[in-house]
Amino acid sequence: MESLVSLNCAEQVVCSSPSPNASIWQDILAQAVTGELMAAMNYSALSTICDDPEEVADALEHAQGEQGHAAAFAAEGRKIGVDVPNNINARYWKRIREAFMRSIAERDFMACLIVQEIMLESFAVASYTRVGKAAPGSLGKTFAAIAAEEEGHIEHAMEILRAERARDPQRFDDKVYRLHLEVMNTLTEMVAKECRHGQCDLCHSSCVKPSLSEVGLTTVELRGASLQQYLKTLDALGLPGEVTLQWVAQLPV
Amino acid sequence: MGRAAASVTALERRTLERRTEVDFALIGHQESWRSAADVLAVLRGAERARLPDEEIREIFPWIPPRAVCNVEIASATGAKARGLYIDCFIPPDRLDCDYLHDNVGRVRAAAACAINRGARIVSLGGFSSILIEGNFDQLPERSGTVFTTGNTLTVAFIVQGIRKMCALDGREISKSTLLIIGATGDVGSGCARCLTPFVKRVMLCARNAERLRTLAAELEADGSEVEIATRLDQLPFAADIVICAASLASPSLRLGRIAPEAIICDAGYPKNLNPRGDMTDARVFFGGLGQIAGGLSFMPDFKGVLNRHPFLDVAHGCLLEGMALALARRFEPFSQGRGLITRERVEEIETIATLHGIHLAPLFNAEGPLEGMRVLTSNKRPEVGFAPGNLK
């Protein structure tokens, strides 16, 4: 698959001979790189609706950071002898991007933060942490390190969102629910046990999900950890647990 | 993005806090996969298909402890109290010792949730009472929230149930041999203190011999005849009243030698008695349950799901204790520690509960009601089978 975005890596990379599970890691990395590139694009778009120069600078800095994560993942691919594709127009990512861009079109800064920092980053932190534990050597370390960095992002955004919620909790919660329906249905389909609606447009041949157990991962674990992280993040924002539990229970399986 | 994080005014914070405060919280867990599936079915809503069993087993362990629904209870005096039911989401097949550390962590998180929501009193149901039966250091930081195991009211309802069952069957309690399984636990020892003076003899069975000896000495000091054993097959007499109050991970208890037509109170959560145990002639009932005359409601509607009983407005004594104390505006840690339940304390909580219309529930067992009144006929009770293991 041809990458839509090229990732130039200044770092000198020494390629080892392909690992036996290289093709599985290639597909996992393709999702990670695409997610990071989309995050970079989301932050760039966010900078265009910020009024405060400080906020613009912050958003652009975040965009650069996410671009760096994508490059780091791509470099890890080269180390195990695979070329990592990316495709922000892939089935699920495209839908998520469209949801984010609707918030940009509405110049809704808080909605953008909710999608990127609460929903997408919850999934990134939880799944990278799991992959970080399962992946060997520097690949695992890179996933773990990026998971920790993304967690830092969430904390920063949480302060802003908590303050926003305190102003009008009901209005804020209604907005989160609307975005939840737009984005979380897609994210949970992505981590469902099977891709029932066809290819995700990122796996290099057949769907990688059935092979995840060969590298010590399962979709059950990735889905469970991601939804758990999402619920905990919503708890930390102050949304009532009985409400968010219902939201998550109603997601597709 | 820094400027967007404007500080929350004190007024806004106070308004928010007031909105979320509740009188009581009930902490519990599901005792069977069937009940876990029913909880998720309610959360998904009637318009969505029930999740397949396999999905439930995969999803459930990942759910962090949290409030599941709002609860409202009405007193016979007309007073009302508002609360929350918080589930620990302990997978029903992980209640044994292998998962102790993880489960204690879940109960602590549930307790933190109750504290964050401003609950003034918290009742700890089932396994979760471990947190304050001698493990006070496990409780999260708290101010303005007190915890009770609720065990005193559970004991009250077990004792009342035994007396009622004896009366229904025309038995003389004073001529009976009482066996208590799980006798050194908080509930078991409380039952021993309440009933020993009124029976012919008492037999205590538990795993810890030292604790058994201590309890036996206490009871013997009052002139009672007491036998102790760490195994059921060591007991010298056939019991004709049995209280099962052991902490078991699943209904696995087989009683062995008991008197024909013995009265057996299964007060465990999960249930103690193995449903395949040979107790053909025994009179089994589920003990420790109370009924609220003023009514109990859930939002969303979990009636018959969280309280899986064949009668309306029935709940476990341990949970009802917190609710009764909330109605009485007595926000105090009524039951804490282990082995501290006395007859006087049982009488005190009975008085509080009675004042607010909380009484012994009609007796029933796995087959259904043992007496007829206010049987739950609503169709809101989804597929609840009268099988041991899913009736709490």
**B129-162 residue pLDDT tens:** 877 777 666 777 777 899 999 999 999 999 999 9
Residue B64 · residue B89 · CB < 8 Å: yes
- Tokens representing residue A144 in the block: 């773990």
Q: Which whole number is the average pLDDT over A88-113?
A: 94
Q: Select the more confidently predicted residue: B271 or B374.
A: B271
Long-range interactions of A210-214: CB distance < 8 A, separation 24+: A211/A24, A212/A24, A214/A21, A214/A24
| pLDDT at position A4 over 80 | no
Task: Give the count of beta carbons closer than 10 Å to the beta carbon of residue B372.
Answer: 9
pLDDT band at A118 (very low <50, low <70, confident <90, very high): very high
Residue A44 tokens, joined: 């760039």
- Nearest-CA distance from A58 to chain B in Å? 6
Q: What ipTM was reported for this prediction?
A: 0.87
Cα–Cα distance measured from residue A94 to residue A103, given in angstroms and rounded to the nearest whole number: 15
Q: Does pTM top 0.80 for this prediction?
A: yes
A253/B1 Cβ within 8 A: no
- Whether the CA torsion B251, B253, B254, B260 is positive or negative: it is negative
Query: Which residues of chain A lie closer than 8 angstroms to B82, CB-CB?
Result: none
pLDDT above 90 coverage of chain B, percent: 68
A43-59: average pLDDT: 94
* Chain A (124-143) residues lying within 8 Å, Cβ to Cβ, of chain B: none
Whose structure tokens read 């695992």?
A: A140
In sequence order, the β-bridge partners of residue B298 are B71
| Region at B219 (left for phi over 0; alpha for psi -120 to 50; beta for the rest) | alpha
Q: Where are the alpha helices (DSSP H) in chain B?
A: 10-20, 33-44, 53-59, 100-116, 151-169, 186-195, 209-220, 317-327, 343-355
Does the distance separating the beta carbons of A225 and B3 come in below 8 Å? no
Cβ atoms A85, A202 nearer than 8 A = yes
pLDDT at B10: 45
Give the one of A113, A225, A245 whose C-beta lies nearest to B68's C-beta. A245
Q: Residue A17 pLDDT more than 70?
A: no
pLDDT score, position B147: 94
Statement: residue A8 has pLDDT above 60: no
pLDDT at A6: 55
Q: Is the dihedral of CA B110, B113, B117, B118 positive or negative?
A: positive
Residue of chain A with shortest Cα separation from B299: A242
Lowest mean pLDDT, pick from A136-140, B145-149, B304-308: B304-308
Q: What's the CA gap between B354 and B328, in Å, rounded?
A: 11
Q: In the predicted model, is pLDDT for residue B2 greater than 60?
A: no
Find tokens 């691919």 and name the residue. A77
**Dist. CA B345–CA B334, nearest whole Å:** 9
Give the pLDDT band of residue B197 (cuts 50, 70, 90).
Answer: very high
Look at B62 and A225 and tell me if their CB atoms are within 8 Å: yes
A44, A21 in Cβ contact below 8 A? no
Sign of the CA dihedral running A49, A52, A53, A57: negative
Using the beta-carbon criterion (under 8 Å), do A156 and B1 form an inter-chain contact? Answer: yes
* Predicted pLDDT at B304: 84
| Interface contact flag, B48 A250, Cβ < 8 Å | yes
Residue B269: pLDDT band (50, 70, 90) is confident
Instruction: Report chain A residues whose CB lies below 8 A from the CB of B89.
Output: none
A129-133, A198-202, B221-225, B370-374 — most confident range: A129-133
Q: Determine the average pLDDT of the residues in B361-388.
A: 58
Q: Give chain B's end-to-end CA distance (angstroms, integer).
A: 50
Q: Would you say residue B383 has pLDDT above 80?
A: no
* Residue % of chain B over a pLDDT of 70: 89
Chain B CB contacts of A228 below 8 Å: 62-64
Identify the pLDDT of residue B135. Answer: 66
pLDDT of residue B356 exceeding 50, the answer is yes
Distance, in Å, from the CA atom of B32 to the CA atom of B41, rounded to the nearest integer, reads 14
How close is the nearest chain B Cα to the Cα of A201, in Å? Answer: 26
CA dist., res. A204 & res. A208, Å (int): 9
Q: Is B64's CB within 8 Å of A228's CB?
A: yes
Yes or no, beta carbons of A160 and B5 under 8 Å apart: yes
- B83: confidence class by pLDDT, cuts 50, 70, 90: very high
Q: Which of B253-257, B269-273, B387-391 has the lowest mean pLDDT?
A: B387-391
* Residue A234, helix vs strand vs coil: helix
Predicted pLDDT of residue B392: 30
Q: Is the peptide bond before A53 cis (omega within 30 degrees of 0)?
A: no
- A80 to chain B, any CB pair closer than 8 A? The answer is no
SS3 B241: strand
A55, B44: Cβ pair inside 8 Å? no
Q: Which amino acid is at B107?
A: V
Residue B9 pLDDT: 44
Asked if B1 lies within 8 A of A240 by C-beta distance, the reply is no
CA proximity to A69, closest of A152, A137, A136: A152
Q: A162 vs B8: CB contact, 8 Å cut-off?
A: yes
For residues A194 and B345, give the distance between their C-alpha atoms in angstroms, rounded to a whole number.
57
Pairing of strands B368-369, B364-365: antiparallel
B13 shares contact with chain A (CB less than 8 Å): yes
Q: What is the mean pLDDT of residues B81-99?
A: 94
**Rounded average pLDDT over A103-117:** 97
Contact A169 B19 (CB under 8 A): yes
Q: Is the pLDDT of residue B250 over 70?
A: yes
Q: B43 in contact with A at a CB cutoff of 8 Å?
A: yes
Q: Residue B36: beta bridge partners?
A: none
Is A81 near chain B, with CB under 8 Å?
no
Whether chain B has a CB inside 8 Å of the CB on A164: the answer is yes
Helix/strand/coil percent split, chain A, to 5? 70, 0, 30
Cβ neighbors of A37 (< 8 A, separation 6 or more) are A5, A66, A67, A70, A86, A88
Distance of CA B161 to the CA centre of its chain: 15
Mean pLDDT of chain A: 89
**Residue in chain A lying closest to B5 (CA):** A160
> What's the confidence (pLDDT) of residue B289?
97
CA distance B27 to chain A (A): 13
CA nearest neighbour of A233 among A158, A171, A146, A165: A158
